[in-house]
Amino acid sequence: QVQLVESGGGLVQAGGSLRLSCATSGRTFSSLIMGWFRQAPGKEREFVAAISWSAGSTTYAGSVKGRFTISRDNAKNTVSLQMNSLKPEDTAVYYCAAGVKILVGLKSSYDYWGQGTQVTVSL
The pLDDT assigned to 96 comes to 97
Which residues are within 8 A (CB) of 11 and not within 5 positions of it... i.e. 6 or more apart? 120, 121, 122
Average per-residue pLDDT in the chain?
Answer: 94
Answer whether residue 114 shows pLDDT above 80: yes
Comparison of pLDDT for 100 and 115, the residue scoring more: 115
> pLDDT tens digit string along 36-85?
999 999 999 999 999 988 877 999 999 999 999 999 998 999 999 999 99
